[in-house]
Each structure stands twice: as C-alpha cells, then as structure tokens.
Structure 1
Amino acid sequence: MATSSRNGGDESPHVLAVDDNLVDRKLVEMLLKNSSCRVTTAENGLRALEYLGLGDEQHNTSNENENGSKVNMIITDYCMPEMTGYELLKKIKESSNMKDIPVVIMSSENIPTRINQCLEEGAQMFMLKPLKHADVKRLRGQLMQC
C-alpha cells in the first residue's frame, strides 16, 4: 500500500461522496474517478461519520479513517434521511481533526437561504444537482489548493 504524501506528487485526491440516492452517488463517483480522484462512497451521513472515525465514540486523532486513508474532500447531498448534509457538515466542522477538510454540499433544490446557511457553517461550495463534468473540474481546482 502506498503511503500518503501531502497531496503533492502523483497521489490522487481522495474524496468521500455521500448521497442516499444510488443513481446520484454513482454519477458523482464516475465524474470524480474520470477526474483522477479516488472515491469512497457512503449512503448517508451516519455512515460517512463512521468512515471518518467520528461515530459515537470519537477516538480518532488524525484525519485518517480506520483504514488509514486520508480524505481530501467530502461531497455530500443536502437532503438525506436521518442526517442532512448540513448536519454532517456541522459535525465535521466541530471536529478538531476534520474541520480543515473541505466539504461541498449538493442539492437539487436552489434555495438561497439553505445555500447561505451551508456556506456560513463552513461549506467550501454549494452545487446544484445533477453534477456535470464542469462542476467536477471546479472541484478538482479546489482540491489542488488543499
């Protein structure tokens, strides 16, 4: 297994994609992989928190998950059962280990108050679904700045 460098070199950025809709999740995964990203998917916010090591017992001390794989960006749907993308964003930003990871929120609804709320809470970007290749190119630009 390759050791992770500080996102320089040839190491592909690792993106955690969170969406309860399988079709949307697969689309995001395909677009990101076509842009040379490594992608891990989760079907809801709770699974994402588990993957990040931020489940009920917050014992993780780095922004690596239990597999030792650093996540460079999280892209999440806004509207999901059990935990919204906004709630996931808040949990990540409250974590001392994860708060610097860029979080991108996606939604099929263009609601300015919702968009502003997410950006004020620390979201890197808010994108409308369905994502297009141009959106992923913008994301890739964000990843290169990390």
Structure 2
Amino acid sequence: MEGSCCSWKGMMDDGDEPHVLAVDDNLIDLKLVEKLLKNSSCKVTTAENALMALEYLGLGDDHKNKSNGSDLKVNLIITDYCMPGMTGYELLKKIKKSSNMKEVPVVIMSSENIPTRINKCLEEGAQMFMLKPIKQSDVKELRRRMTKYRS
C-alpha cells in the first residue's frame, strides 16, 4: 500500500524495546507469537481476544477504566483475523478510528490466504498481513521495517 511506510516512523525511541500488543484467541498461536517477538527483543503484552485488547488500549466500553492512551505506550499491535466476538478486521477499524491509537501500526495475521480479506485489511490501514504460522523470519522482517522507518 503506497505511503503506508510513513506511519512506521517513530516506532521506537533509540535504545528502547518496542512494545507489542499480540492478540489471538488461539493460545498456542499467541504463545508462539509472544516467543518470536521476545526473541527479537520486543516487550510483549498479550490479549486473548479483541475486546481484551480494546480494554487494554483504553478503547473498551467500560468508561470507568478508560485510559487516554498516554500512560501506556504500544508501538505495534499484531492481531489474528478470525476471532469470536470481534474479528481482527473490526479491531483494526476501531483502532484506526481512535484519536489516541490511530497512528499505531496494526499487523493482521491469518491462517487463510484470502486476497480479498488481505486487501480489505490493508485498505483499512493495516501495515502488513502475515500468514500463520508466524515464523522468526516474519518477525525479523517486521523488526526490519520498524527500524527502517524510525524517525
């Protein structure tokens, strides 16, 4: 997607580990993603579904616990596409509509290679679409992009 690289700027402060929010309802996949990200020197927070992710980001429906986003710094969100309750695509749309979180890059992952789904996610603002199972080489490419587009 042309121009999408520009929002990768400022992903990491010099010397800081990027903080990644990983979202997947499959605990095995979630643990794999977490391990691969940690192997690539990322700080990882996990959520088992999109609603938990929204709560963590301060975008949930519970306004009492709503954060303004300034007290937590997430540099990247990586989410599964197919999840019960709310898909990764719906999560992406909510994040991109948020004034506090819209600049945070979102990567969608799926075990299904469906071009229309991939295009829909990229058009909505996803930075990348990765096929599962995620491999260390995928995470290295992600880190390369994050580093390449640092400001």
Taking structure 2 as the reference length, what is the TM-score of the superposition?
0.86
Instruction: Check conservation: 1:73, 1:101, Cα contact below 8 A.
Output: yes
Q: Which residue of 2 aligns with 1:131?
A: 134
3-state SS of 2:83 partner: coil
Match for 1:37 among 31, 37, 42?
A: 42
Unmatched runs of 5 consecutive residues or more in structure 1? none
The 3-state SS of whatever aligns with 1:80 is coil
2:53 is the alignment partner of 1:48? yes
Kindly indicate whether the alpha-carbon contact (under 8 Å) linking 2:81 and 2:89 is maintained by their aligned counterparts in 1.
Answer: yes
Which residue pairs with 2:114 in the alignment? 111
Q: Mean alpha-carbon deviation: is it higher for 106-115 or for 53-62?
A: 53-62
Structure number with the bigger relative contact order (C-alpha 8 A, sep ≥ 6) is 2
1:60 equivalent to 2:48? Answer no
- In the alignment, is the contact (CA less than 8 A) between 1:89 and 1:103 conserved in 2? yes
1:85 matched to 2:85: no
CA RMSD in angstroms comes to 1.7
CA-CA distance at 1:6 after TM superposition: 7.5
Residue 76 (str. 1) matches residue 79 (str. 2): yes
Q: TM-score, normalised by structure 1?
A: 0.89
Return the alpha-carbon distance in structure 1 between the equivalents of residues 144 and 11 of structure 2.
16
Structure 1's 6 and 139: CA in aligned 2 closer, same or farther, altered over 3 A? Answer: closer
Q: Give the share of equivalent positions with the same residue, in percent.
A: 72
Q: What stretches of structure 2 of length at least 5 have no aligned partner?
A: 1-9
Instruction: Classify 1:116/1:61 alpha carbon distance in 2 versus 1 (closer, same or farther; 3 Å).
Output: same
> For residues 7 and 104 of structure 1, what CA distance do their matches in structure 2 show?
16
- Provide Cα deviations, 1:93-132, integer angstroms capped at 9, x if missing partner: 0001100000000000000000000000000000000001
Distance in 2 (CA, whole Å) between partners of 1:12 and 1:69 is: 14
CA offset at residue 69 of structure 1? 2.8
Equivalent pairs, count: 138
1:96 aligns to 2:103 (yes or no):
no
1:71-108 Cα distance to aligned partner (Å, 9 max, x none):
00000000000000000000000001100000000000
In the alignment, residue 101 of structure 1 is paired with which amino acid?
A: V
Q: CA deviation at 1:10?
A: 1.7
